[in-house]
Amino acid sequence: MNSLHDEFIPVSDLPEGRPANLSRRGFLGASLGALVLGVTLPGAGALAQNAATAAKSAPRVSAFLEIRTDGSVLLRSPFVEGGQGVSTAMAQIVGEELDVDPANFTVECAPPGSDYQVVGGRRFTGGSFSVRSSYETMRRVGASARQMLLQAAASRLKVPVASLSTEPGRVLHAASGRALGYGALAADAAALPVPEDVTLREDKDFRWIGKPVARLDVRGKSVGKAAYAIDMQVDGMLRAAVQHAPRLDLEPAAFTNEAEVKAMPGVHSIHRLPGAVAVVADRWWRARRAVETLQVTWTDAAPGTRRAMPSDFSSEGRRAQLAAAPGPGIAAETVRDAAATLEGAAKTVTATYDAPYLAHGQLEPPSALARFNDDGTLDLWLPNQAPEMFLARAAKAAGIPAEKIKIHSPMLGGFFGRHFIYETANPFPQAILLSKAVGRPVKLIWSREEEFLRDALRPMGFVRFRAGLDANGLPIALEAEAVGEGPRDRWFGRKPDAADGSAVEGISGKPYAIPSRRIAHVLVDDPAIIGFWRSVGHSMNDFFYETFFDEVADAGQQDPYDLRLQLLADKPRHKALLQAVGDLSGGWKRGPFTAPDDGKRARGVAMASPFGSEVATIAEVSLKDGAVAVHDVWVAIDPGRIVNPGIIEAQVNSAVALGLSSALLEEVVYAKGVPQARNFDGYPILPPDRMPRVHVRIVESGAPMGGIGEPGLPGVPPAVANAVAALTGQRIRSLPFSKMKFGDT
């Protein structure tokens, strides 16, 4: 467990926006007595700055970096580490320009503040956007600090700056053979102004960018020293557990055994919360046992309550609702007149596809620690992907100004969309209310059952397809209607008469040269709390599109791999990637064919264009005991440019695992307004013995940098489904595969 009693100099005591030499009292992580290249963090005025203004202003180097007397570096990253390797990538990028080995970095998530809003004037960790959105900014941070160190050395050695160079961690004066370590120059550098312009390294001179630098967080995780929100504790802290209402439209009314629960060991108090009840105790297990013992009478929420869940809501009913919703919807992509072309087609192909609600199923259960301080401020330790967004919501929950709240953002024990601001899906508003009620710090942990009950789910998806073929069996028209609600517009606002990009991504904008196309979104509001899930709409929409593509190829008597190549003739980047994955797999062969073990196997192929990257995937499958067995998955990924190939390969492996898990097994089922699975016994995920071998080829096309964390996922479900169809002749149009029974081949 970690003690969180580091002392901080109040922001008001230091000059806003100016470098200062700060000791241990200045910032968490600095060595005792160290002179560091540091500065005050943004105060109330900076927090209130307009995001657009913040985006235009140059980042303050000293808000990001501290260089200590021993030469080590503390970097405050704008992004939250959740296993995706962003802390290591930030250290590589900054270290490259600063000329410091990334291994000498300590990386922390920066607190809320306008300096760190480097994603188009905002700040969030998600959308596979962290590295590509901040690459130039963070390089300039490192280069600016290096220039300041050179200037400090020039003054110390009384030589021109131009006569100096650097090697990792020190400044060199080649003519005299003298050298000064960065740590010895930190104090002098801190007194200098940040340069207005700097020269960045040429790519050919990179020491660490583009190299498989070892992850900085691996050792801490391996030896149990990595600290997550669930590990945090402070003096005088109480623990809390909750019991949520079974449906979102219920509120706690009466307790039938309150006296009994209050008398249980360690119980401090019982509380009513919006849509839940809580018990505060001296230990979390005691709080959980007590709150589960509490017998609650739940009452319907007042009429017109926002996000009320109908008592008769079910997954089956939702699918029927989506299937019955009429088009034509809001156009997301229109090329020529698809309807007219379809009327004149030699052959038409139609199909409907659907995918279920999915839970995040993260390893770390949600938690939050709230502490009100004597001066009226509030400290919050909570897992999150967007500190500024959480700060605004916390201020509203606490009833105090945002500048009186300090958000601490520990490493995440799993996320991919779980830790955004979702109504009812985060524990920190409850922790704030409980801490205020008891007058002491409170750490709230949701049990696994409460997590499954209140997770923000990937929405259910449903798509109607119609394609037209010419006399040669080539597609000449495609219509698709994606029916349902996407998470982007749910949480960031709808635009009138505009399709939700998260509802149609993976269907609109495909690179294939089909002459006439119409892609549309038919909006049907979802009563469930929906959220972002790894690769968002691509996670199901590429399954829909790429599997239907194979149906179209079969209808035209075309090989699906060859047809893709033909339709990508004018897309050299995509065509090269498809050829690369074919080569990686040893040459395309669809099958069925006989494997070395004498079993029958087949292969499927799929492509995806998620988050600025391009991906081609091939999967090889067989059948065993009526279920799909996936032996190998080959992935060629083109992110344009790369920072760490080792992290890319790890992320692709991870994405393949989750994509396959979602395809084969995962499904949240609602009945009577309640999700039926409350733990992993009712929500199976991919077991280790069903994980295939994964083969990765990275292709650097030189295109603008794309994302990494999510792009490896979308191609997996369709590649596997297409392989199953080649092997069995059975088309899979509804996920997960476990709903179907296959005969052994």
Comma-separated ranges of CATH 3.30.365.10 domains in the chain: 11-220, 231-300+366-445, 325-357+458-739
pTM: 0.91
Task: Give first-to-last CA distance, the chain, whole Å.
Answer: 53
Q: What is the pLDDT of residues 504-521, one digit of tens each?
A: 999 999 999 999 999 999
Is the pLDDT reported for residue 180 higher than 50?
yes
Q: What is the pLDDT of residues 453-498, one digit of tens each?
A: 999 999 999 999 999 999 999 999 999 999 999 999 999 999 989 9
Q: Is the peptide bond before 592 cis (omega within 30 degrees of 0)?
A: yes
Domain 325-357+458-739, CATH class in plain words:
alpha beta
pLDDT at 20: 32
Q: What is the pLDDT of residues 329-376, one digit of tens each?
A: 999 999 999 999 999 999 999 999 999 999 999 999 999 999 999 999
Is the pLDDT reported for residue 217 higher than 50?
yes
> C-alpha dihedral over 109, 110, 113, 116, to 10 degrees?
-80
pLDDT band for position 59 (50/70/90)?
low
> C-alpha dihedral over 680, 684, 688, 692, to 10 degrees?
-150
- List the helix and strand counts (H, then E) for the chain: 21, 31
Domain 231-300+366-445, CATH class in plain words:
alpha beta
User: How many other β-carbons are positioned within 10 Å of the β-carbon of residue 137?
Assistant: 17
Answer for the pair 468, 507: CB distance below 8 angstroms, yes or no: no
Provide the 3-class DSSP secondary structure of residue 212. coil
Provide the 3-class DSSP secondary structure of residue 355. strand
Structure tokens at 459: 């929405």
Query: What stretch of H or E contains 77?
Result: strand 73-77
Is the pLDDT reported for residue 388 higher than 50?
yes
Least confident of 367-376, 414-423, 551-560: 414-423
Q: What is the pLDDT of residues 6-47, one digit of tens each?
A: 222 222 232 333 223 333 223 333 333 344 543 332 332 322
Report d(CA 630, CA 711) in Å as an integer: 20
Neighbour-count burial of 552, counting CB atoms closer than 10 A to its CB (0-12 exposed, 13-18 middle, 19+ buried): buried
Q: Is the dihedral of CA 278, 283, 285, 289 positive or negative?
A: negative
Q: Which residues contact 515 (CB under 8 A, 6 or more apart)?
A: 335, 336, 341, 476, 477
Q: What is the second-level CATH architecture of the domain 11-220?
A: 2-Layer Sandwich (3.30)
